[in-house]
Amino acid sequence: MDFKILATTFGMIFLAELGDKTQIATMCFAAESDSRIAVFIGSAAALVLSSLIGVLCGGFVSRLVSPEHIKLGAGALFMLLGLWMLVPYGK
């Protein structure tokens, strides 16, 4: 196992997940629930499953597209989504 990749992945995903809607939703569920361990297990399982889907999709896409093109595409997509979020609705 490559521990450098493990540590880098952990650090980036941990920082990306702080304060996002998933964490806020988990806090709301925990605040409303008497079984915080069930909330923890449910949210942890959901994150693990979504990460598995991401790894499987990334492995499949990397067979068709070079990693450089994937990085460029992901960066462009993030910028487009960020710009889209700045556009006001309804006016």
CA gap 36, 4 in Å, rounded:
33
Q: Is residue 14 part of a domain?
A: yes
- pLDDT of the residue at 20: 84
Q: Is residue 34 part of a domain?
A: yes
Split into its structural domains, the chain has a count of: 1
- pLDDT of the residue at 75: 93
Q: Is residue 55 part of a domain?
A: yes
- pLDDT of the residue at 19: 82
The pTM (predicted TM-score) of the whole model is 0.69
- pLDDT of the residue at 35: 95
- pLDDT of the residue at 8: 93
pLDDT in tens, 73-82: 989 998 998 8
Could you tell me the CA-to-CA distances from 43 to 8, 10, 24, 54, 83 in Å, in that order?
22, 17, 11, 16, 29
CA gap 25, 76 in Å, rounded:
28
- pLDDT of the residue at 88: 80
Q: Is residue 86 part of a domain?
A: no
Task: Give the residues of the chain that fall short of pLDDT 70.
Answer: 90-91
What mean pLDDT is reported for the chain? 91
Residue 60's domain comprises 3-65
CA gap 55, 22 in Å, rounded:
19
Q: Is residue 16 part of a domain?
A: yes
Q: Is residue 61 part of a domain?
A: yes
- pLDDT of the residue at 50: 93
CA gap 9, 33 in Å, rounded:
31
| Structure tokens, 59 | 């492995």
CA gap 67, 40 in Å, rounded:
34
